[in-house]
Structure 1
Amino acid sequence: MKEPLPQLDSLFLAALDIESPEQRATFLNETCGTNLELRHEVERLLKSNELSGSFLEQPAPELDATMMFRKGSLNGDVAIHAGPATAFDQRQAVVIGRAGLSVLKNLEGTINVPRILLRDSIKDGPEPILKPQSFELPDRDSDSRYQLQGEIARGGMGAILKGRDTDLGRELAIKVLLDSHKDKPDVVQRFIEEAQIGGQLQHPGIAPVYELGQFADRRPFFSMKLVKGETFSKLLADRADPSVDRAKLVGIFEHVCQTVAYAHSRGVIHRDLKPANIMVGAFGEVQVMDWGLAKVLLAGGVADEKKARNTQLAQSLIQTLRNNTGSDHPGTVGDLGSAGSQTQVGSVMGTPAYMPPEQALGETDHLDERADVFGLGAILCEILTGKPPYTADNGTMVFRMATRGKLSECFSRLDQCGADVELIAITKHCLAVEPSERPRDANVLTERITAYLASVETRLRVSEVERAAEAARAEEALHTVAETEARARAERRAKRLQLIMAAVVLVLVSIGGVAAMRSAVVQSRLKDDALNAERVAEEAREGAVKAARREQALAQEAQDLQQRESELRQQAEVREQTIQAMLYAAEMNLAGQAADDVSGLRRVGQITTSWGPERVARNLRG
């Protein structure tokens, strides 16, 4: 073990008090003399102290390049010395580290970095890349963990690239802002809003967002799950007739309704629901895509939104870094903007063929969950009839039909499509021109679709039992016919035997003893024939007994199915009561929170009035 140098600590502290470099050198010459090792150690400590002090006073350039501060936040020095709790409030953020940086590259040389790659599924389907050399592909960053392989699809705001996370070994869909929009702040903000909304909507029916980042060319991107499969639009178009696979497609539609119902529970409406924005994966997974036009509703609905715009105090149900406002008209980072952030008057976003009239007219102040309910009804219309609600020779005519809510031709197609009356009624209810006449939200629609599918399953089971009972009755009739024919044959044979015996008697009378011997032989044969006839009759009787037992078993099965149907109906009623009680509790909680503020008394009245006797048939207050 190396012995500590004498006087090292005291010399270091003494030299540290001398500020002039010349005076410090003279001091070391005098105190260290010829002990070069001692002088080297003192100088090393002094240099380390200088580096440490400069780092604390000013971050290293490498760290400074990885820090971003929002407009209006504290500067870097204050942020580092004060700590996150002091330097940033809930509307300010600091991001440390580069998005997309490969962690495994940093670990190379320190450990044996593993590279585990699973085999591709045989059901993944064909390669989705459409443009391997897309102009939207950014330049390759050597430090990035993303390998970009080509363009999958493109929308009005961004392009979807197929990528691979080399650290985790998984394929990704990476949505990047189009190069033509990178200098448009409002489009950039809407793009970020889409990522933030998608990142907070945690549901199996919504592709999860993994990361939000920025490429070297300053374009933002976010990575998400790559769903391999087909669009719902393709599945509908590939049918030979709208009646083909109708039950299967309605089952997929139920999953879509459940996903949208979850989004509505989080205060988000999609505003562009259509078959092309629904992916059906290779293993049956159903996901609602493209939340680029999604709007975050304010907690109190349209009335509260107007009030919040006047006071500039609105706050979204889902918190994002976009002024805590709605999502129609992005503001600038750091300002409050207008509450609800409405689009400019007259601007329309969405797909006219599936659009409710209020959205086509640009009435964004009045859009709520019922706009999505119309879109879901439009999808159901295409499932049943093969076409969306509005069809015309050109886009202008389709848009004009959407603004006027012209659905007479659509309803005529529905009446002639041959689907169940109940399903047609649900579709028309969703496509009502007036929002107030539609189901309140996707959760209400989901309950109706689920109940319909359950009733269809029950009807199928009952039909199967009836077919089985009919088959048993037919089989029993066949056995009865066979038994009757067997008895007729036995009677005919007995008559023939009687005639033969009479003839034998006559012969015996005429020819004496020889005839008697022959008569004995004939009688033996007659006895054998009689035994055979009796055996045939016995077999027919046994067949009839078996048929009767089968009919009894089928009747018992039908009774069991009826009992099961009754139990399912009771379970559905209990579930509906439970959901109603949960909704009641949630809204009463909101009423309690609103009651803390004098301005919220009106909201309390609205909530309590909505739970009057005309809405519920029992006391939900426990």
Structure 2
Amino acid sequence: MSDLSGELIDGRYQLIRQVANGGMASIYEALDTRLDRKVAVKIMHPHLAQDDAYVTRFIREAKAAAALSHPNIVAVQDQGWNQNGIPAVFLVMELIEGSTLREYINERGRFDIREAINYLTPILSALSAAHSIGIVHRDVKPENILVSHEGRVKIADFGLARGEVIGSTMTAESSVILGSVSYLSPEQVQRGIADARSDVYAVGIVAFEMLTGEKPFSGDTPIQIAYMHVNEDIPSLRSKRKEIPKALDELIIRATSRDPDSRPRNAGEFLKELEAIALELDPKKNQMKLDLDLPVEPIREKLRPPVKPKPLPEASIEIKETTKQIRRGEEKKRRTSKRVRRNRKIALLLAIALGVGGWYTLVGPGSR
């Protein structure tokens, strides 16, 4: 698909630059000229836009995603078909300026245990909100998990893969399966079906990668990796990293079980078990918990605000006095003050007397 930067979509969205290009669509940073704000515009590739069934699913799922209101889900703001210029099916979302979880993993390797839990918690919370209204993501992977510059975790592309047939995807859109195959559940690979437990499996794989710094399976082709997911169990976390708590290891083993019935039924159940483990690791954390309003640390250290210099403490001298000494000092001050006032009065009277006497002698009747 050619770069559409500079195009005006739907008479409203001015495409500024292309920020991502995938197997199904390209994403642009754009300006909403009506509201004068930055947005992200996702434009479906032209060859897919010719498929009425695919476009219908795209529109239906865009509406479903728009129905989700959650602080850790990328908000969908508009959807339509460009009528005034180049034909394009588009989706408008909030613009998240930051990095993907994939970039975090590439930069950091494996995560600290508590840090990984801090990331997994908002991911599962977002999926739990979706599962509660019957929406399944179907393509959970680090590339679809965004982290803003402020540290807020956001999941993107909700529901856009619903109804996709895995077989046709692997032949017609091999680039899509290359990006997702490491996180596909066995039932998605075998039967092309997915439910909430498939998302649980994908999050389990993401957790494995965050905690070990590597994917559980690797191969030369997507088919090889898919085959491993269907026929082999995910390695134990503790076999890769001894300090992983046993409870966390067991939870990830169950989440990535090849049998969907052995996994937590949905992201909400997964989240509850993970929070219980987090509480065991840090009992004080629950006292400070404000749910999802505490963002995780951003990928790059934020600049710290300048620290105002503290004034140097003034030198002091220690003085020890008894109560009697303090009272005597105060009485002495009072006596001194009375004497000063009396002396001032006498001096004033003398000055007046001298003035009057001088006038009488020099100018007045006494001068005659």
TM value normalised by structure 2: 0.69
Structure 2 partner of 1:383: 210
The answer as to whether partners of 1:346 and 1:362 remain within 8 angstroms in 2 is no
Aligned partner of 2:184: which letter?
M
- 2:310 is the alignment partner of 1:441: no
Q: Which is strand-richer, 1 or 2?
A: 2
Aligned match of 2:132 in 256, 265, 290?
A: 265
2-side partners of 1:249 and 1:153: how far apart? 26
2-side partners of 1:236 and 1:443: how far apart? 25
2-side partners of 1:282 and 1:189: how far apart? 34
Residues 135 and 246 of structure 1: CA distance in aligned 2, closer, same or farther (over 3 Å): same
Q: Secondary structure at the match of 1:270?
A: coil
2-side partners of 1:274 and 1:145: how far apart? 31
Residues 423 and 164 of structure 1: CA distance in aligned 2, closer, same or farther (over 3 Å): same
- 2:62 is the alignment partner of 1:235: no
Residues 172 and 143 of structure 1: CA distance in aligned 2, closer, same or farther (over 3 Å): closer
- 2:256 is the alignment partner of 1:416: no
Aligned match of 1:276 in 134, 143, 162?
A: 143
Aligned length: 276
Q: In the TM superposition, what whole-angstrom CA distance separates every residue of 1:357-387 from its partner, at most 9, and x where no partner exists?
A: 11111242xx321111111111111111112
- 2:23 is the alignment partner of 1:196: no
Residues 148 and 347 of structure 1: CA distance in aligned 2, closer, same or farther (over 3 Å): closer
Higher-Rg structure is: 1
After TM superposition, give the deviation of residue 136 of structure 1 in Å: 4.1
- What is the alpha-carbon root mean square deviation over aligned residues? 2.5
1-side partners of 2:24 and 2:51: how far apart? 11
Aligned partner of 1:358: which letter?
E
Residues 138 and 431 of structure 1: CA distance in aligned 2, closer, same or farther (over 3 Å): same
Higher relative contact order (CA 8 A, sep 6+): 2
Residues 391 and 456 of structure 1: CA distance in aligned 2, closer, same or farther (over 3 Å): same
> Please, which runs of 5 or more residues in structure 1 have no aligned partner?
1-133, 296-327, 330-342, 462-622
Residues 272 and 162 of structure 1: CA distance in aligned 2, closer, same or farther (over 3 Å): same
The answer as to whether partners of 1:378 and 1:388 remain within 8 angstroms in 2 is yes
Aligned partner of 1:206: which letter?
I
Aligned partner of 2:96: which letter?
V
- 2:267 is the alignment partner of 1:400: no
Aligned partner of 1:197: which letter?
A
- 2:183 is the alignment partner of 1:354: yes
Q: Secondary structure at the match of 1:190?
A: helix
Q: Which is helix-richer, 1 or 2?
A: 1
> Please, which runs of 5 or more residues in structure 2 have no aligned partner?
171-175, 287-368
The answer as to whether partners of 2:100 and 2:142 remain within 8 angstroms in 1 is yes
Aligned match of 1:213 in 49, 72, 80?
A: 80
The answer as to whether partners of 1:153 and 1:161 remain within 8 angstroms in 2 is yes
Q: Secondary structure at the match of 1:451?
A: helix
Aligned partner of 1:192: which letter?
I
After TM superposition, give the deviation of residue 346 of structure 1 in Å: 7.3
2-side partners of 1:143 and 1:268: how far apart? 28
The answer as to whether partners of 2:236 and 2:253 remain within 8 angstroms in 1 is no
2-side partners of 1:433 and 1:360: how far apart? 11
TM value normalised by structure 1: 0.42
Q: Secondary structure at the match of 2:235?
A: helix
Aligned match of 2:30 in 160, 163, 169?
A: 163
Residues 246 and 230 of structure 1: CA distance in aligned 2, closer, same or farther (over 3 Å): farther
The answer as to whether partners of 1:136 and 1:179 remain within 8 angstroms in 2 is no
Aligned partner of 1:160: which letter?
I
After TM superposition, give the deviation of residue 161 of structure 1 in Å: 1.0
Aligned match of 1:287 in 136, 142, 154?
A: 154
Residues 282 and 382 of structure 1: CA distance in aligned 2, closer, same or farther (over 3 Å): same
Aligned partner of 1:395: which letter?
P
- Percentage of pairs with the same residue: 28
After TM superposition, give the deviation of residue 155 of structure 1 in Å: 2.0
* Of 249-258 and 388-397, the range deviating more from structure 2: 388-397
The answer as to whether partners of 1:268 and 1:294 remain within 8 angstroms in 2 is no
Aligned partner of 2:226: which letter?
F
Structure 2 partner of 1:455: 280
